[in-house]
Amino acid sequence: MRATATTYDAVTRDILAERRFLERLALRLSRRAADADDLVQETVLRAYRARDRFRPGTSMRAWLATILRRLFLTDAIKTRRRGTQTDTDTGDSLAYAVGGARSGTSELSYEQTLERVDERLKLALERVPEIYREPFVLFSLDGLAYAEIATQLAIPVGTVMSRIHRARQRLKGALAASGYRAA
């Protein structure tokens, strides 16, 4: 059942009521306050435009989290395709040069974490399908709990656990195939 014209105001109100949740989720994904703000604004705008497609009785939070996560992943794919832009004066990545790393925090982005990992391990991790790799990275590298990952990805906790298990199996297989030996 689709939302009717009389429920638009209620749906809009519910979208705006979840803004704090969206801000926390966006910051956890993007690791930068400015990027998180942009991500939340775009999510709210897209949700508002698609409010007639929201099905009453379903989870507003899960619907919004899905929109936000897809926007984030789409942007990450576009960024990866473009390659990292560098500051020509210093050779640093442009994101770092303009304050890409949040000050006062030890949290690293996925790319920063992978920079510290052996090249063969990186290649093996990239061979793990994204559906398994994403929860694995959130758990193993970012240190999120199963419940946090489930909320972020809008999937059940049991699915998170099985995807992490499958990611480990595939990573072990890829490492064994490449002859990798841990130091």
Q: How many residues does the chain have?
A: 183
Sign of CA dihedral 157, 161, 166, 171: positive
Q: Distances from the Cα of 61 to the Cαs of 51, 155, 168, in angstroms?
A: 13, 12, 29
pLDDT at res. 59: 87
Q: Give a yes or no: residue 95 inside a domain.
A: no
Residue that terminates a domain, selected from 27, 48, 82: 82
Tens place of pLDDT per residue across the chain (183 aa): 454 544 558 888 888 888 999 998 888 888 888 888 889 999 999 988 888 888 888 888 888 988 998 888 887 776 665 554 443 334 444 443 333 333 333 345 555 555 555 677 778 888 888 889 888 888 887 778 888 888 888 889 899 999 999 999 998 888 888 776 654
Range of the domain at 5: 1-82
Rounded CA-CA distance 88/29 in Å is 28
Q: Give a yes or no: residue 33 inside a domain.
A: yes
Rounded CA-CA distance 43/67 in Å is 6
Is the same domain home to 116 and 78?
Answer: no
Q: Give a yes or no: residue 35 inside a domain.
A: yes
CATH of the domain at 171: 1.10.10.10
Angle at 9 between CA 68 and CA 66, to 5 degrees: 15
Is the same domain home to 133 and 73?
Answer: no
Cα-flanking dihedrals φ and ψ of residue 92, to 5°? -75, 160
Number of domains in the chain: 2
Q: Give a yes or no: residue 97 inside a domain.
A: no
Q: Distances from the Cα of 77 to the Cαs of 70, 73, 83, 160, in angstroms?
A: 10, 6, 10, 22
Residue that terminates a domain, selected from 82, 97, 117: 82
Is the same domain home to 6 and 47?
Answer: yes
Q: Give a yes or no: residue 87 inside a domain.
A: no
Q: Give a yes or no: residue 89 inside a domain.
A: no
93: helix, strand or coil: strand
Threshold 0.85, pTM exceeds: no
Is the same domain home to 1 and 73?
Answer: yes
Q: What is the DSSP letter of 181?
A: -
pLDDT at res. 106: 39
Whether 70 and 63 have beta carbons less than 8 Å apart is answered as: no
Is the same domain home to 112 and 74?
Answer: no
Q: Give a yes or no: residue 70 inside a domain.
A: yes
Is the same domain home to 6 and 72?
Answer: yes
CB atoms within 10 A of CB 105: 8
Is the same domain home to 52 and 120?
Answer: no
* Tokens 């698609």 found at: 50
Whether 32 and 100 have beta carbons less than 8 Å apart is answered as: yes
Q: Where are the beta strands (DSSP E) in 52-175?
A: none
Q: Give a yes or no: residue 102 inside a domain.
A: no
110: left (phi over 0), alpha (psi -120 to 50) or beta: alpha
